[in-house]
A and B are shown apart, each in its own frame.
Chain A
Amino acid sequence: MAGFGGSYLSSILIGAAAVLLLLGLWEVALRLFDVPVWLAPKPSDFLVRLYTDRALIAGHALWTSLTIVEGFALGVLVAIPLALAIVSVGALERGLYPVIVFLNIMPKTVIGPILIIWFGIGPLVAALIVFLMSFFPVLVDSMSGFRLVDRRLFYISRSMGADPWQTFWKVRLPAAMPHIFSGMKIGVVKAVEGVIIAEFIASNKGLGFMIVRASAFMDMTLMFSGLVAAAIVALIFNGAMSVIGQWLMPWSRH
């Protein structure tokens, strides 16, 4: 543990230095070759824009974040009970699971236009697409989590006279948690990826929508600012997942 803080800090410093170097080279190259801003903006352009248009960008970033939270939360809330049902009932595993796998192979954005007709253009449709994208990895990992719990743990809980409810809450769910959580980590990555695409095609709010609109106006600087903002949102969500993971499962650090 002693070396943990040090190496963590140094990896942040190295990462930051690499980003700064990249931005510096970018800035220098664009100035050197005098590239027009409508073709490729310099870091000084879009970083300044990120600040001057912060209200606009933050507003859209907030919508994007909200969409991720909604879609992802729905995905987790559906995936975990469904995983338990599929693992517990043989008929569901044979009947329902192949259907879900088939639906997952289908590109989710294809459903966008259909959802637009059903629900109209808006963040709701984007959230539904995020749900479809993040749901599957959570389902698959929760299934293996529930399945891989040592059978003998159930003997122990039954020897304590536990009812199925107690067994689930006190033994099975927490024991499956590391698997469920690794599914959720993949799910969040899918969600932050998917949300921008979903907003491209099916929303009138959020960073994806902002970037598409900026593109229509040839506002290259705002597009790059949107990109940076999207990256920050993704970083925050992935970081939050790691923190929650360490809080929920302190033993997984080892």
Chain B
Amino acid sequence: MTDTTMAEMKTPSGPARSSGGAPAAGASISARGLTKVFGSGDNAFHALGPIDLDIKPGEFVSIIGPSGCGKSTTMLLVTGLEPPSAGTVEIDGKPLTAPISEIGIVFQDHLLLDFRTAIKNVMLQQEIRGLDKTALRDRADALFERLGLKGAENRYPWQLSGGMRQRVSIARALVHDPSMLLMDEPFGALDAITRTQIRHDLEMLWLDTRKTVLFITHSIEEAVGLSDRVLVMSKSPGTIVEEIVIDLPRPRPAHLGEYPEFSKYAERIYRIFEKLGVYKF
């Protein structure tokens, strides 16, 4: 948490800016009529959409919805990692035609490589992108410091706790200073205590770097606790049924119940889910 580490991450002309010259601060995402259908003919499964998305640079947006509603698919479509069946995506106003690499991804499972130490997992970004080794190593060290991973550099994933593995995977997603961070239920596999801490750590990191974050979750607490805006998705085929702007001061506390507004937001999402038939009581 030293000032130098924060400064390093914020510096607009910092070493990792070299990754393609895109603005490191955060990209805008805009999608129109985004639809995904898996398979064809009688076996076709309409998984998602059509949905429209408009995410401002540096915004923290969550998509919340029941399991299998297509929220993870949304994340893959806006990065071009999966092609949409219909619709268009624009990143920073430029139409998306191929997978973009100015991004960092974190999934529910850490997906670290067993055969690499924590630091080498993070440095995979440098190896594959062919970036400057010293500069990226400095950034990795700074991220390890901030994420409480100091001393774990040379440990293998199987020597780390679940929370630490997920922290390494966050470091991997950020070390190349991407303009966009995509997270697919990143804390879903963690225990409640670890989840609260890592949520806070992520928020602090985001406050310093202001990357655009698309956060997929099925936890109302996480969505409200982290986001500027929550998009609520219906059951499949998922469409966005409501948009809720979360107007709470930051950084948000560990116990969100401190804010009376929190329960109002949470309540609103519960009501929407009820109306959609997500809950049957």
- Residue numbers of A with Cβ under 8 A of B are 150, 152-153, 155-162, 166, 170-171, 174-175, 177-178, 248-251, 254
Contacts and interface: CB of A to CB of B under 8 A. Distances in A.
B128 interface: yes
Contacts of B105: 155-156, 159
Contact of B127 (A158, A170, A251): A170
Nearest to B99: A158
Nearest 9 Cβ contacts at the A-B interface: A161-B101, A160-B128, A162-B128, A251-B114, A251-B158, A174-B115, A155-B81, A159-B105, A152-B107
A157 to B, nearest CB: 7
B241 interface: no
Interface string B99-133: 10101110101010111000000001101110000
A152 B101 contact: no
Contact of A158 (B81, B109, B115): B81
10 contacts: A155-B81, A158-B99, A158-B101, A160-B101, A160-B128, A161-B101, A162-B128, A175-B113, A175-B114, A254-B158
A196 B80 CA distance: 55
Contact of A170 (B79, B101, B124): B124
Interface in B51-109: 76, 79, 81, 99, 101, 103-105, 107, 109
Contacts of A174: 113, 115
B156 interface: yes
Contacts of A161: 99, 101, 128-129
A249 B158 CA distance: 12
Contacts of B99: 158-159, 161
B157 interface: yes
Contacts of B109: 150, 152
B101 to A, nearest CB: 4
Given A159-B101, A160-B128, 17 more contacts: A150-B109, A152-B109, A155-B81, A158-B81, A158-B99, A159-B81, A159-B99, A159-B105, A160-B125, A161-B128, A170-B127, A171-B113, A174-B115, A175-B115, A251-B115, A251-B156, A251-B158
Nearest to A150: B111
A160 B124 contact: yes
A174 B157 CA distance: 14
Given A150-B109, A155-B81, A249-B114, A170 B128 contact: yes
Interface residues of B, number: 23
Interface string B11-26: 0000000000000000
A175 to B, nearest CB: 7
A250 B114 CA distance: 9
Interface string B183-226: 00000000000000000000000000000000000000000000
Nearest to B100: A159
A162 B176 CA distance: 14
A77 B81 CA distance: 32
A220 B109 CA distance: 61
B79 A156 contact: no
A254 B160 CA distance: 12
Contact of B111 (A153, A166, A177): A153
Nearest to B180: A159
Given A152-B107, A159-B81, A250-B156, A177 B128 contact: no
Contacts of A166: 128
Nearest to B116: A174
Most chain-B CB neighbours within 10 Å: which of A155, A162, A171, A248?
A155
A157 B158 contact: no
Most chain-B CB neighbours within 10 Å: which of A156, A159, A177, A254?
A159
Interface string B139-166: 0000000000000000011100000000
A160 B129 contact: yes
Most chain-A CB neighbours within 10 Å: which of B115, B127, B176?
B115
B115 A177 contact: yes
Contacts of A177: 115
A150 B157 CA distance: 16
B30 to A, nearest CB: 19
A251 B111 contact: no
B111 A249 contact: no
B124 A152 contact: no
Most chain-B CB neighbours within 10 Å: which of A161, A174, A175?
A161
Contacts of A170: 124, 127-128
A33 B101 CA distance: 80
A109 to B, nearest CB: 38
A248 B127 CA distance: 20
A152 B113 CA distance: 12
Nearest to A175: B113
Nearest to B157: A251
Nearest to B108: A152
Given A160-B128, A251-B158, A155 B76 contact: yes
A248 B125 CA distance: 22
A87 B132 CA distance: 35
